[in-house]
Amino acid sequence: MIFDTHIHFNDERVYQNFDKHFNEALESGVKRFLCIGYDVESSKLAIKLAEKYPEIYAAVGIIPTEHKQYELKSEENLGTIEEIRSLAKSSKKVIAIGEIGLDYYWEKAPEIKEKQKIMFKEQIELANELNLPISIHCRDAIQDCFNILKEHKVKKTGIMHCYSGSKEMAKEYEKLGYKIAFGGVLTFKNSKDTKETLLNIKKESIVFETDAPYLAPTPFRGKMNEPKYICETVKFAAEMLNISYQEMQDIALKNSLEILNINYEN
């Protein structure tokens, strides 16, 4: 059984064929999903799906690349955090705050970077207030992200989504208690850092994700990523670590349940 710790069933491209994608994933052995919000609307949809399907959990939050929308006044920021707070409290199936973090790839202006940091910290506070872990979106900002997490400790820590830093930095995140999520990028020919990270961190730190509809693994690279494709990534990792596909699934499942504080009953 595979736990997809970062999926966007709430993205239009996946949502329009939800039944197909969900059922095909279940048939492929993907049995638990953390559906990740990236703004207020997508967070609402994540909750709606989580309320309907026992296999799906929800994360609510505002992604850094969406901050521009909310950049104007601090009251608007607060308003948005307020909405996320009430969404997070509205359902027991909300088990994380995310995806939140920093993205300097899309946003290079210093004032936007500062706003991203403020939003990140505010949502970290929210996670601590609600005693939830976080799902982190961090792109081209690995050091700043780390500094914030070191200074603003998240009680329940969380998952580094689509980790793309060095293996050394991954170990630092590991020391803080974060899990490292591997997705399609692991299977790409040029993903040297990601592969080295997998080989150098503890097995207890490994979780998997699709990030569907983004970043489809080889041999589907360039196509829309589908939830069932996570199997390719898990198989790839198992081969790299020289363990069986089943063992890889078991290790990652245990790690996923642990970090997301889920008691698995059946």
Please spell the DSSP secondary structure of 64-133, one letter per residue: GGGGGGG-S-HHHHHHHHHHHHHHHHH-TTEEEEEEEEEETTT---HHHHHHHHHHHHHHHHHHHHHT--
**Smaller CB distance to Ni ion: residue 61 or 87?**
61
Helix (H, G, I), strand (E, B) or coil at 193: helix
Tallying the residues shown for the chain, one arrives at: 266
- Closer to Ni ion by CB, 63 or 149: give it: 63
Residues that bind Ni ion (CB under 5 A): 211
**Smallest separation, CB 6 to Ni ion (Å):** 6
Q: Which is nearer to Ni ion, 174 or 211 (CB)?
A: 211
Distance CA 12, CA 9 (A): 8
In angstroms, give the least distance from the CB of 63 to Ni ion. 7
Residue 38 vs residues 42, 52, 101, 169: alpha-carbon distances, Å: 6, 20, 11, 25
Q: How far is the CB of 211 from Ni ion (least distance, A)?
A: 5
CB of 89 to Ni ion, least distance (A): 23
Cβ of residue 226: shortest distance to Ni ion, in angstroms? 15
Q: Name the residue nearer to Ni ion (CB basis): 134 or 238.
A: 134
Nearer to Ni ion, 103 or 211 (CB): 211
Count of CB atoms situated within 10 Å of the CB of 108:
10
Place of tokens 């080295």: 196
Assess contact for 93 and 36: CB atoms under 8 A: no
Taking the complex as a whole, how short is the minimal distance between the CB of residue 214 and Ni ion, in angstroms?
A: 7
Q: CB of residue 98 vs Ni ion: minimum separation in angstroms?
A: 8
DSSP H or E stretch at residue 264: none
Q: What whole-number distance in Å separates Cα of residue 100 and Cα of residue 133?
A: 11
For Ni ion, the closer CB: 214 or 245: 214
Q: Over the Cα atoms of the chain, what is R_g?
A: 17
Question: For Ni ion, which is the closer residue by CB, 112 or 213?
Answer: 213
In the block, residue with structure tokens 């914030």: 148
Q: For residue 250, give every residue at least 6 positions away whose Cβ sits within 8 Å of its Cβ, in sequence order, or none.
A: none
- 263's tokens: 């008691």
